[in-house]
Amino acid sequence: AAYVVPLRIGGGTRLKIYEAMAMEKPIISTTIGAEGLPVQNGEHLLLADTPQAFAAECVRVLKDEDTARELGSRAAKIVREQFGWDKVAANFAELCQRAVRLQQPERTKSQVEEELPTVV
């Protein structure tokens, strides 16, 4: 089985792709479908933007179980490392600590905001 994302237009978050990544499914997507995700073509998923190329990549992962398994495994690793409970909890704890420090009179709001992490 594979997860396919044949989006030609669209926006917003790609939560279903993250779910497929977490389930170690091989993913075939258009460039637009994977836009903004921390993934690389051929490493975590397969990108194809023409109907012929998209169909060929779908057939490829259905026929080549090793490639499908490797794509799924590498994609799941990213989800665990960047969005696993440990990572999310640590980021949340850090944000809470910074919010508390913001209330301390010796620190200005701009000083604390400069330290805030960029949330992916």
Q: What is the model's pLDDT at position 104? A: 74
Q: Are residues 52 and 93 in the same domain?
A: no
The whole domain housing 103 covers 86-115
In 74-89, which positions are buried (b, 16+ CB within 10 angstroms) versus exposed (e)?
bbbebbeeeeeeeeee
Which phi and psi (to 5°) does residue 81 adopt? -70, -40
Q: What is the model's pLDDT at position 106? A: 66
42 class by beta-carbon count within 10 Å (0-12 exposed, 13-18 middle, 19+ buried): exposed
Q: Are residues 53 and 30 in the same domain?
A: yes
Q: Are residues 44 and 101 in the same domain?
A: no
Q: What is the model's pLDDT at position 31? A: 95
Q: What is the pLDDT along the chain (120 residues), one digit of tens a residue?
A: 999 999 988 777 788 999 999 999 999 999 999 999 999 999 999 999 999 999 999 999 999 999 999 999 999 999 999 888 898 999 999 999 988 888 876 656 666 677 676 665
Q: Are residues 69 and 16 in the same domain?
A: yes
Q: Are residues 98 and 57 in the same domain?
A: no
Q: Are residues 70 and 93 in the same domain?
A: no
Q: What is the model's pLDDT at position 10? A: 79
Q: Cβ(64)–Cβ(23) under 8 Å?
A: no
Amino acid identity, residue 48? A
Q: Are residues 43 and 99 in the same domain?
A: no
- What is the reported pTM? 0.75
